[in-house]
Structure 1
Amino acid sequence: MKRAHSVARAIRSPMPLLLAPVLAVQAWRTVRRTPRLDPATGDEQGFVAGADPGRGPALRVMVIGESTAVGVGASRHAEALPGFLAEELGERLRRSVAWSVSGRNGATARRIIGGLVPPANGSAPNVVVVTTGINDLIRRRPLRRWAADVTELVALLRGRFPEATVLVAGMPPVHRFPALPRPLRSVLGARARAMDRITRDAAAAGGAVHAPMDEAMARDRRLFAADGFHPSAAGYRAWARDLARVAVAAAPAPAPGPAPGPGDPPQDTPPAGAVPPRTAD
């Protein structure tokens, strides 16, 4: 019943008065009928060997956030967003990738700020991906507070991992979620798009990169898990492919080093922490 109330709160917005009862009933039925899926299991860190050992030390990737960070809808983290993202980056860069995940099912942006961002240490990540927004949507976080939350989250990540490329995943196309009937999906979808615009602006202002989710993904039912709300393993793979493309394009080019002397070997190995430009698909 508590979940039903939280979903019902999400659809309260200026709208024709006659539509509000319909949305409330749809929210209640959706909660009753939607299966509850568990987070992915298995190790919360892993390693993908690269094809070219000469590419330098392993790239370190960290995924932080809500249910999609912890792989709800997939069986293991290696077959969810962190593992697939590492595979995609490894293939594009021909480089080894070490991945880790820090998240919690149901986490809001405030919850992520309050305790899900790991402390910086000697093995700081080179790429950080944060997934957040759906739970703030469900709880109908006021848009002004959402803007403040995502701005603070970006500042926290950029301050804690200043050398990393920080990707803020865009809001999913909620208006196409199979679990949501119309007009409920349209109302929630409109609010999700507003939240995504705020996220994009906050990321740009804070020195992070907004990575929008491809709406075409939501047209393929096979990319959704059994609940019609979270990605399936295939959905996580497709999403990871898009995130990897953005990460490689957004990463700064390696700083130029000193010119090699007559007897020096070729300087073709990128420095630790740099993501070299993609050379081939």
Structure 2
Amino acid sequence: MAFLRLFVLVLLAPVLVVQAVRVRRATPRLPGAAGPAKGAVGAGHPLRIAVLGESTVDGVGAPTHAEALTGQLAGLLAEAGREVRWQAVGRTGATARNVLHELVPRLQPADVLVVVLGVNDTLALHSAARFRRELLEVVVAARRRLGDVPVMLAGVPPLGSFPALPRPLQDVLGARASALDRAVRALDRLPAVTYTPFAEDLLSPELFAVDGFHPGPAGYREWARVLAEGLPAVTVRRHSGDPPHPFDQVV
């Protein structure tokens, strides 16, 4: 089966290269979100949250970080009656290896970590085994820096449903994204690590930015809602003998 997939990929290679070049030329290059990449919202007992990853953490598709994924996530968590101090540590185009070496050292103290990766590793056609290994290295390095904090791993978005991509490029990248998403899910077995899948509802065309590739502010809010609903599950996976964690009181 693997040989058949490789054979088909080789046959499609010329078409895929042409489509990739056309998509790159035709797709608007949107900047990262403007404004501070950290802040605070709400009132009450403070919770520090860090979001680490690629262009969606950099806020591409939103005017400001407050309207992008991290700011919207912080706002939703603050509705539980907390002061949420947030930091967005992202870079457009970053793979898991880039994040490990360039972005993890920029993390500031946090009580919980959300990792959003996979799209650029998909575009680079990295194998699932490589991505799983490098994502694990990101989690381990981040915990060395932050301490034994709960970690949420966001599912890899299904590129096969992105409006900006034509077929068969859409099919090839969709299959690769699914493989990398399974690699993320495999790390869910680690203590205090939770995987939250990318919801199908987030693929509505009106939730995308004008590039058809990144979320717009409405898309970021809906994605933040999915992550916020899954965050309490992170602490449930902690060892029973562990001391209480500040995030345990969020809900």
Same fold per superposition (TM over 0.5): yes
Q: Which residue of 2 aligns with 1:5?
A: none
In the alignment, the residues of structure 1 paired with residue 66 and residue 223 of structure 2 have an alpha-carbon distance, to the nearest angstrom, of 14
Q: What residue is the counterpart of 2:167 in the other structure?
A: 182
Secondary structure class of the residue paired with 2:55: coil
After superposition, residues 1-281 of structure 1 pair within 5 angstroms as: 13-15=6-8, 17-50=10-43, 53=44, 57-91=45-79, 93-118=80-105, 124-205=109-190, 207-218=192-203, 220-252=204-236, 273-276=246-249, 278=251
Note the aligned Cα RMSD (angstroms): 2.4
TM superposition shift of 1:21: 2.4
Map Cα deviations across residues 16-51 of structure 1 (whole Å, 9 max, x no partner).
65433222221121111111000001011111113x
Which letter maps to 1:58? Answer: P
Indicate conservation of the 8 Å contact 1:158/1:208, yes or no: no
Q: Find the aligned partners of 1:254 and 1:108 in 2 and give their Cα distance.
A: 28
Question: Residue 273 of structure 1 aligns to which amino acid in structure 2?
Answer: P
Q: 1:69 aligns to what SS in structure 2?
A: helix
Closer, same or farther: CA 119–273 of 1 in aligned 2, 3 Å: farther
- Larger radius of gyration between Structure 1 and Structure 2: 1
Question: SS of 2:52's equivalent?
Answer: strand
CA contact (8 A) 2:61 2:217 kept: yes
8 Å contact kept, 2:117–2:154: yes
- Which deviates the most, 203-212 or 133-142? 203-212
More displaced 10-residue stretch of structure 1: 138-147 or 79-88 = 138-147
- The structure where helix makes up a greater share of residues is 2
Of the structure 1 ranges 205-214 and 170-179, higher mean CA displacement relative to structure 2 is found in 205-214
For residues 240-271 of structure 1, give each alpha carbon's deviation from its aligned partner in whole angstroms, at most 9, with x where no partner exists: 00001110232249999xxxxxxxxxxxxxx7
**TM, length-normalised to structure 1:** 0.80
Q: Is the 8 A contact 1:154 1:206 kept in 2?
A: no
Residues 1:255 and 1:194: Cα distance change in structure 2 (over 3 Å) = closer
Task: Determine helix, strand or coil for the equivalent of 2:49.
Answer: strand
For the residues of structure 2 that align with 1:105 and 1:214, how far apart are their CA atoms? 22
- Structure 1 pair 13–41 and aligned structure 2 pair: CA distance change class (3 A): farther
Deviation at 1:13, TM superposition (A): 4.4
Aligned pair in 2 of structure 1 residues 250, 202: CA closer, same or farther (>3 Å)? closer
Contact 2:89 2:107 in 1 (8 A): no
Answer whether contact 1:107 1:135 (CA < 8 A) is retained.
yes
- Alpha-carbon distance in structure 1 between the residues aligned to 2:238 and 2:154: 24
May I ask how many residue pairs the two structures share in their alignment? Answer: 244
Deviation at 1:168, TM superposition (A): 1.2
User: How far does residue 147 in structure 1 lie from its aligned partner after superposition?
Assistant: 2.1
Residue 225 of structure 1, CA deviation: 0.6
* Structure 2 counterpart of 1:232, one-letter code: G
SS in 2 for 1:112: helix
Task: Provide closer, same or farther for how the CA distance between residues 247 and 83 of structure 1 changes in structure 2, counting only shifts above 3 A.
Answer: same
